[in-house]
Amino acid sequence: MKRFFCNSLFYIGIVIMILLGIAVGYNIDHNFLKLYTAKMGQVPIRYCIFIIILFIGYLLFEEINHYTFIFRYKSVSNFIIKSMKQEVIMSVILLLIFHLPIFILNTKEFINNIVLIMLVILNITLIFSVMLAIIRLLNVWINNRITSTSIFLLVFACLDVLLGHFSYFYMEHYIFDFDAILVLPYVYHFYPFIFLFMCTLDIVLLFVTSKKMKERDYIIKQNEICE
């Protein structure tokens, strides 16, 4: 982790998150909640947040994806849990940095809606945990994290466009799309069920990934790559 915090790309990511926070927080004080959630659903904002956090997740993974580290954690499962914890912590840090300019620009409104903001941060953290879990599972076969991340983003973007297309043309039969994926607690009153579903999915993906890594001799492959 020490080398990770010396990586200039990490600090570039922080600067971009601050700029995104300014873009979201600027001039929304007169209708804070609606404008905040609307801006969080805009394509440029959403995908910039996706790319920054997933890329930082990639940097973290590359830092510890070495057979000696996996041996240090004594099992593949412990290694996955450790990497997941680091990715979650880094996601929370980046999201807090992102929300800092929003807080500075809209202090009173931000404090009045602090519970919802915290739920949104929790929701985004869980979403990225699931995304990273899917990428981690995909990487078991591809064994190239940047390629796995790119494939995931491509599939996600295609699905996003497809769902958006059907929702736009068939509004009388609304189909879920990804516009509000970052602010689900604000949109759906049954969010606790969505939260439980994502937690369950995260655990299942962790279990399957651990099982597949053992089956495909992941540690031996990393040893061969390092040599």
Burial class (CB in 10 A: 0-12, 13-18, 19+), 143: middle
Distance CA 212, CA 140 (A): 7
pLDDT of 65 reads 63
pLDDT of residue 224: 45
The structure's pTM equals 0.86
**Amino acid symbol at 145:** R
Instruction: Compute the residue count for the chain.
Output: 227
User: How far apart are the C-alpha atoms of 172 and 169, rounded to whole Å?
Assistant: 9
Whole-angstrom CA distances from 121 to 37, 46, 208, 219 are 12, 14, 27, 34
What pLDDT, on a 0 to 100 scale, did the predictor assign at position 7? 75
DSSP string, the chain: -TTGGG-HHHHHHHHHHHHHHHHHHTT-GGGHHHHHHHHHTSHHHHHHHHHHHHHHHHHHHHHH-SHHHHHHTSSHHHHHHHHHHHHHHHHHHHHHHHHHHHHHHTHHHHHHTHHHHHHHHHHHHHHHHHHHHHHHHHHHHH--HHHHHHHHHHHHHHHHHHHHHHHHH-GGG----STTGGGHHHH-TTHHHHHHHHHHHHHHHHHHHHHHHHHTTHHHHHHHHH-
Whole-angstrom distance, CA of residue 194 vs CA of residue 176: 13
CA distance 153 to 132: 11
Q: What is the mean pLDDT of each run of 10 residues along the chain (227 residues)?
A: 72 94 93 92 92 88 64 67 85 94 95 94 94 90 88 92 70 66 89 93 89 65 47
Please say whether the beta carbons of 10 and 56 come within 8 A: yes
Query: Residue 222 corresponds to which tokens in the numbers above?
Result: 């990393």
